[in-house]
Chains A and B, each alone.
Chain A
Amino acid sequence: MTVLHPGYTRRRMLQTAAAGFGGMVLNALLASETNPQRAKQSQVPARARRMVFLFMKGGPSHVDTFDPKPLLDRDHGKPLPFDLPEVTFAKQGNLLKSPWTFHRHGASGLPVSELFPLTAQHIDDLCLLRSVHGTNPAHGGAALKLHTGSDQFVRPSFGSWITYGLGSENENLPAFITICPTLAHGGVNNWGAAFLPSHCQGTPIGNASQSASQVAVQHIANARTSAELQREQLKLITGFNRDFNDSTAPDPVLEGRLNSYELAFRMQASMPELQDFSGESRSIRKLYGIDDPVTEDFGRQCLMARRFLERGVRFVQVTHSDSHVQWDQHSNLYQGHTKNAAEVDRPIAGFLADLKARGLLEDTLVLWGGEFGRTPTVQGTDGRDHNPHGFSMWMAGGGVKGGFAYGATDDYGYYAAENKMHVHDLHATALHLLGLDHEQLTYRYAGRDFRLTDVEGRVAKAIVA
């Protein structure tokens, strides 16, 4: 590790610290008493050490998956017996019952729709959050709100905040990885670090338009130069840089660049190994559904996620998306959700089972959900509109109560009604589980202390086991 010159400033230090992927340098730096802006040590005991977000792009319907509404079945075709929000995304009709039936599962007996038969087998590990709500009814705004806490300004992604707060446990890998993220609706801002130090930004592996079997970190390989030749070239560059650095004053930034080539070279070697599943057994591949074209893509993402988490990556996001409308069933709800659920159910169930078998689930916080839910009212004849006013997400592992349902929507599933959990509350709660106090995790920028939760956020303590 670079020996830091005592006179160098924090800005200079951060630039250098970022030369590594890890936050080890950074953490040491931030912990130093002389730095007034260090990430504050939290009093909250951490229940999770890492987090994974299974993002269902487009907005899965809660009333068709994890939030059954008997009155919706009963009053199918009738008008919603209370007012619609002042602003809706599209024109909505009368109530539309779910095409799927719900069955009770596990010791908890919580109901899950037949869209998720395999995930349902893990119900006693899931903590259903049935009263999540946001503010923005459009994809872009809602996705940004969910990922960054703001739909109006460019703010750090919550993965970046977690990276900033906790650093990385692996020096050769980025602390925050997002696999096949969608470029639409916020795009890079959904994994960007905004004003946080650049090492906090998510490293994308491909994007949603690419098959998970083909994706790679940008510029991770050189097709024209062998590793051996590149080694020689690296020695050459090191020589150039040593000469240059000798000709200037000692400068941690220049030293940092010297190291950055070594790190890049190491990452170049370790990334392909991480994405190579040849070492995984047949039964694991089956567990994640990699042998089935229907589940292969999302299965690969989940398995990659497990491999990253295992090696100390702090925050991994996987995105279920496709090149069409994803979970956004304004029409053809039945066919669309059938297809989407079929693609993710086995990989999710397999992922949970695998984490559990490896003892990772207890300190890995898993979060599942989309940027909003869907309306219980019909759009057109067979679709549902966006609904940010009340929807479901779930958590698993990481210190949450399993087989537990928190909060509720109204009788028809339109508005969050009990123990309402705003997106800010969701963030506050996730940070809490990771041992970070959302009111203390601040970063001073442009003269202001910024927080993920801005001036909002309440920890839902009831879900903590």
Chain B
Amino acid sequence: MKTRFIVLLALAGVVRPCQGAVDGIAYFEREIRPILVRHCYECHSTDSKVKGGLRLDSREGVEAGGDHGAILVKGDPEASRVIVAVRYQDGDLQMPPSNPLSREQVSKLEHWIAMGAPDPRISSRTNQGRLEGMSPSEGRRFWSFQPLASVGIPDRQSPFIQNSIDRFVLETLEEKQLRPASRADKTTLIRRVTQDLTGLPPTAGEITAFLSDESPNAFERVVERLLSSPHYGVRWGRHWLDVARYADSNGLDENIGFGNAWRYRDYVVQSFNDDKPYDQFLIEQLAGDLVPGANQETLTATGFLQLGPKVLAEPDVEKLQWDVIDEQLDTMGKTFLGMTFGCARCHDHKFDPIKQTDYYGLAAIFKGTRTFGGENMGAIKFWYEHSIASEEDKARLKEVDAELKNLNSAASAYKNKAVSRIRTEARANAVEYLVACTQFDSSMPLTDLARIAAPKALHPRILHHCRKHLEYHREDPFFADWHRYADEGKVEALRDHYASLFEKAEKALALARKEDAKMTSLKDEQLERARAALDDKAGFLAVPTVDADAFGEETLAEYFRLLAVARAFESTAPDAPALMGVGDGEVVDTVPLLIRGDWKRRGREVARAVPQVMRWNGEGPPFQRETSGRLELARWMVDPRHPLTARVMVNRLWGWHFGAGLVASTENFGVMGDRPSHPELLDWLARYFVQSGWSIKAMHRLILGSGTWQMASHHPKESEYQAMDPENRWLWKQNLRRLSAEQIRDSVLAVSGRLDRCLGGKTLPLRNRQFVFNHTSEDHTTYDSLRRAIYLPVIRNHLYPFFQQFDFPDPTMPTGVRQETVIAPQALVMLNDPLMLDSATALAETILGGHETFEDRLQAIYLRCLGRVPTKAEVERGGEFIGIVTARHSVRKAWALYGQGLFASNGFLYLK
């Protein structure tokens, strides 16, 4: 030890200290350093981890303290946090976390601090390897925070060019020495554009009309027709719902129905159909309750902030609030600004110029926003809703609630009666149960045990429990007798013993009740034990808690029927009309910065503000005292000078048209996101968007009208180009796209003539806040509706399996571009899902009913499913297949199998 001390002194190069200090340092070396090394360094040293920002491997570290500030006061152990921690006095501050120090070690630390915490260690490295994001001023030089560039359109000539987009694309292609693919043929284009804008296949009539329209603006006319179809909003509204993480149930812990979410969904569809300017659309979603002239429509829009999953049963209300704010901030940031603000909850962003203070500046706005209502249902808190119920509605609701209560009570009364009947019977047979238990040991299977129960009409499950109960009560004075008799084989004595005890106890109780009707216990100790055993609902005659274990088939069926009646009533019962959204709560100017995001550790106060890096003129908007500040925030976001809002949205639109954005990471325009493949085009599009009055339909016309969008999805020099640009970032062809889950389903229904095109309204078969499933795991949601897929329930935690398999996005976070995976379960769906089988049958019937010859039928089925006529080879093979099947099965079966085969084919599932 001594040698080591000297070496250390030499290394540290300190001047020779006076004697007292040497003693202190010797004490440190002998007693304290080993404690630190063994118990603290693992989490608090430069070489391993620096938890809580605290380094205990150098004097500077010890003196600097951690995120909470100082850990010790030299000379005063009682005032030192480190002593509180090692004494395990405070439930939230216990160190080391797993193994407390011994009493002796604690007192050594106390002594050391009392000495003034002498410490010879000098650190050679501090703060090294700590990852930090850019500063706001560096950040402003990063591409996405720079103002939108005012770019000139490149001067290019080529038959490829149809509008300005193509000039930018061509310029890049030429730089990379690539050439664009040729224009897709008209058959391909009509299918592509119809699916792109409406999510449905073109009808045979629409195909023929387009193919025969030779006019130069034939394609534009198709685009206009589709843009004015209400099904345009269904398709593009759904894109937005991906971003808005739309769902009809909460998910997370307590999965209860969002009975009013559908109003937000319909609002989105309508907004797209109306070509609502995007700036207005954004403001309504963030601050629709605060805009001048706020109305039902704008209040509904605030559902955007309310739709997130929440831990509704979280017992710590403050944690819940901060978690919800985090969810709102993160969603808002990703959706509108392509920023991952969530990362800055606990520390400055590790990559982006977003500081923790920026996070709390925004959080203060949401802290003043009301997301929860005052009510709750047990542990489950209610999210906020704007009520729009009239007095009449409320009166009607009272009736509905009363009726529901009646139905539920009918079920529970039936059950309680059945249980008490079983209990009474068991009580009457108490002795028989005890006697029967002598015939088997506690491990006998229930099937064998039932043979013992049957002759005496005992309930096998009660008998089973009774035997276990006896086993667990060997020491119980009342049941010890049973064991004694049973061990000696004296069954009759056992019977007499308990029969007489129970009889006497019953009599004594009846007698006692004559004197005092409320009497529940007996004075005699032994009789009281007998009474207690008989009356104990969880005792030796406990009725099984699981319905199916307790009741016979008939009783069970009747009870389940009553429950189903109540549930069916509830699922379709009207709710109080209300708009799921947010309002202003208790408005605050500042919130405390939470150290490491921990709501129990409050740091300095941070005022409402927008992130520093995005303040183009050095300042953000001023915030009014009276309101939360969401309106100011939203208006600031749609200021044409904002570097992100327009870029992020045009990139989304591009991504939905091409399958990949110009910035591939649609939710992340930060340092870890992708860089734009065509930065000038992106900025030009963003400016165009703002200048068009934020018109989304104008962007569709522009993009769809471009030669770029209209290119074929394969290229004559495919493999050469593939090697150079495998992801087609430079846009030398259109991407081959797989249909989305909704497109597959809706197209299958459409071509088989089964699709119900009705729009809007509540479609969730749950009342507001009704449990999707509680503990039961019984999900009663059905998906057999034939309406468009956007109207099928989106149940968090248990998505429609068809959606789940075909890459429907996780409805808990914003998704800009969906995945297009190929997994074997998709094949199982295509081969076996009744949706496919029923649709194929319907398709076969339509084809057979409408066409006589094989050739006509095949042509019709091809046109419907693939949007083209079959080739000669396809006709031949089709004939073979129909021949093979009809040899032993019906013609209808043959065509159904053939049609289903077409659904499952790449020609159906992919868009060229």
Contact of A249 among B91, B714, B801, B902 (CB under 8 A): B714
Q: Mark B765-805, 1 if CB is under 8 A from A, else 0.
A: 00000000111111100000000000000001111010010
Q: Is the CB of B622 closer than 8 A to any CB of chain A?
A: no
Q: How many chain-A residues does the 8 Å CB contact rule pick out?
A: 122
Q: Is the CB of B445 closer than 8 A to any CB of chain A?
A: yes
Known: A7-B726, A141-B253. A198 touches B821 (CB 8 A): yes
Tell which of A194, A225, A332 has the most Cβ of chain B within 10 Å: A225
B776 touches A268 (CB 8 A): no
A447 touches B671 (CB 8 A): yes
Q: Is the CB of B901 closer than 8 A to any CB of chain A?
A: yes
Residue of A nearest to B334 (CB): A446
A264 touches B801 (CB 8 A): no
Q: Is the CB of A86 closer than 8 A to any CB of chain B?
A: yes
Q: Is the CB of B850 closer than 8 A to any CB of chain A?
A: no
* Chain B neighbourhood of A218, CB < 8 A: 801, 825, 828
Q: Is the CB of A418 closer than 8 A to any CB of chain B?
A: yes
A325 touches B351 (CB 8 A): no
Q: Is the CB of A19 closer than 8 A to any CB of chain B?
A: yes
Q: Mark A287-300, 1 if CB is under 8 A from B, else 0.
A: 00101111100000
* Chain A neighbourhood of B907, CB < 8 A: 240, 243-244
Within 8 A of A (CB), among B679-703: none
Contact of A260 among B350, B726, B822, B874 (CB under 8 A): B822
* Chain B neighbourhood of A310, CB < 8 A: none
Give Cα distance in the complex from A16 to B819, angstroms: 12
Residue of A nearest to B474 (CB): A101
B824 touches A263 (CB 8 A): yes
Q: Which of A27-35, A46-54, A334-342, A426-434 lines the interface with chain B? A: A334-342
A446 touches B672 (CB 8 A): yes
Contact of A89 among B315, B475, B798 (CB under 8 A): B315
Q: Is the CB of A105 closer than 8 A to any CB of chain B?
A: no
Known: A208-B777, A243-B874. A339 touches B546 (CB 8 A): yes
Contact of B797 among A188, A217, A265, A267 (CB under 8 A): A188
Q: Mark B860-881, 1 if CB is under 8 A from A, else 0.
A: 0000000000000110010001
B775 touches A293 (CB 8 A): no
CB distance from B860 to the nearest CB of A (A): 17
B823 touches A199 (CB 8 A): yes
A249 touches B718 (CB 8 A): yes
B827 touches A264 (CB 8 A): yes
B797 touches A420 (CB 8 A): no
Give Cα distance in the complex from A256 to B738, angstroms: 13
Residue of B nearest to A20 (CB): B824
CB distance from B801 to the nearest CB of A (A): 5
Q: Is the CB of B439 closer than 8 A to any CB of chain A?
A: no
Residue of A nearest to B912 (CB): A248
CB distance from A278 to the nearest CB of B (A): 19
Q: Is the CB of A253 closer than 8 A to any CB of chain B?
A: yes
Give Cα distance in the complex from A85 to B315, angstroms: 12
Q: How many chain-B residues does the 8 Å CB contact rule pick out?
A: 113
Known: A219-B825, A240-B905. A182 touches B777 (CB 8 A): yes
Q: Is the CB of B531 closer than 8 A to any CB of chain A?
A: no
Q: Is the CB of A12 closer than 8 A to any CB of chain B?
A: yes
* Chain B neighbourhood of A422, CB < 8 A: 97
* Chain B neighbourhood of A241, CB < 8 A: 905-906
Give Cα distance in the complex from A229 to B890, angstroms: 12
Known: A139-B253, A232-B884, A419-B99. A328 touches B897 (CB 8 A): no
Contact of A294 among B445, B714, B807 (CB under 8 A): B445
Residue of B nearest to A206 (CB): B777
* Chain B neighbourhood of A137, CB < 8 A: 315
* Chain A neighbourhood of B778, CB < 8 A: 209, 323
B775 touches A100 (CB 8 A): no
Known: A183-B798, A188-B804. A254 touches B906 (CB 8 A): yes
B97 touches A233 (CB 8 A): no
B545 touches A88 (CB 8 A): no
A140 touches B254 (CB 8 A): yes
CB distance from B150 to the nearest CB of A (A): 29
Known: A323-B546, A335-B545, A336-B545. A240 touches B901 (CB 8 A): yes
A338 touches B722 (CB 8 A): no
Q: Is the CB of A251 closer than 8 A to any CB of chain B?
A: yes
Q: Mark B530-549, 1 if CB is under 8 A from A, else 0.
A: 00000000100010111111
Q: Is the CB of B225 closer than 8 A to any CB of chain A?
A: no
B723 touches A232 (CB 8 A): no
Give Cα distance in the complex from A310 to B797, angstroms: 30
Q: Mark B469-484, 1 if CB is under 8 A from A, else 0.
A: 1011001000000000
Contact of A225 among B251, B796, B897 (CB under 8 A): B897
A187 touches B826 (CB 8 A): no
Q: Is the CB of B76 closer than 8 A to any CB of chain A?
A: no
* Chain B neighbourhood of A265, CB < 8 A: 827, 831
Give Cα distance in the complex from A3 to B727, angstroms: 19
Q: Which of B422-430, B497-505, B662-670, B752-760 lines the interface with chain A? A: B662-670
Give Cα distance in the complex from A58 to B822, angstroms: 36
A220 touches B828 (CB 8 A): yes
Known: A141-B314, A446-B665. A323 touches B776 (CB 8 A): yes
A198 touches B468 (CB 8 A): no
Q: Is the CB of B220 closer than 8 A to any CB of chain A?
A: no
CB distance from B237 to the nearest CB of A (A): 23
Q: Is the CB of B230 closer than 8 A to any CB of chain A?
A: no
Q: Mark A234-254, 1 if CB is under 8 A from B, else 0.
A: 101101110111001111011
CB distance from B847 to the nearest CB of A (A): 16
Known: A18-B821, A261-B827. A100 touches B472 (CB 8 A): yes
Within 8 A of B (CB), among A314-353: 321-326, 328, 332, 334-336, 338-339, 342, 346
Residue of B nearest to A338 (CB): B468
Contact of A236 among B545, B548, B779, B881 (CB under 8 A): B881
Known: A89-B315, A446-B667. A183 touches B832 (CB 8 A): no
Q: Is the CB of A355 closer than 8 A to any CB of chain B?
A: no
Contact of A7 among B548, B667, B719, B797 (CB under 8 A): B719
Tell which of A83, A183, A198 has the most Cβ of chain B within 10 Å: A183
Within 8 A of A (CB), among B435-460: 443, 445-447
* Chain B neighbourhood of A249, CB < 8 A: 714-715, 718-719, 722
Give Cα distance in the complex from A241 to B351, angstroms: 45
Contact of A289 among B311, B445, B545, B884 (CB under 8 A): B445
B822 touches A256 (CB 8 A): yes
Known: A100-B472, A219-B833, A244-B906. A263 touches B726 (CB 8 A): no
Q: Mark A136-165, 1 if CB is under 8 A from B, else 0.
A: 011111001000000110100000000000
* Chain B neighbourhood of A334, CB < 8 A: 538
* Chain A neighbourhood of B722, CB < 8 A: 5, 7-8, 249
Known: A185-B253, A187-B797, A339-B546. A260 touches B827 (CB 8 A): yes
Give Cα distance in the complex from A224 to B836, angstroms: 12
* Chain B neighbourhood of A88, CB < 8 A: 315
Residue of A nearest to B908 (CB): A240
A188 touches B820 (CB 8 A): no
List chain A positions with a Cβ less than 8 A from chain B.
5-9, 11-12, 15-16, 18-21, 58, 83, 85-89, 99-101, 114, 118, 131, 137-141, 144, 151-152, 154, 181-189, 192, 194, 198-199, 203, 207-209, 217-222, 224-225, 229-230, 232-234, 236-237, 239-241, 243-245, 248-251, 253-254, 256-257, 260-261, 263-265, 267-268, 289, 291-295, 321-326, 328, 332, 334-336, 338-339, 342, 346, 382, 407, 416-422, 446-448, 458
Query: Lowest 7 CB-CB distances: which A-B pairs, in order?
Result: A140-B253, A447-B672, A187-B797, A292-B445, A264-B827, A240-B905, A249-B718
Please name 17 further chain A to chain B contacts, defined as beta carbons within 8 Å, in addition to the given A187-B255, A418-B98, A418-B99, sorted by A numbering: A5-B719, A83-B91, A87-B316, A141-B311, A188-B798, A219-B831, A237-B901, A248-B912, A257-B909, A261-B827, A267-B824, A292-B445, A322-B546, A323-B546, A328-B775, A335-B465, A336-B545
Q: List 7 A-B contacts (CB under 8 A).
A: A9-B726, A151-B311, A184-B775, A186-B252, A292-B447, A324-B776, A447-B668
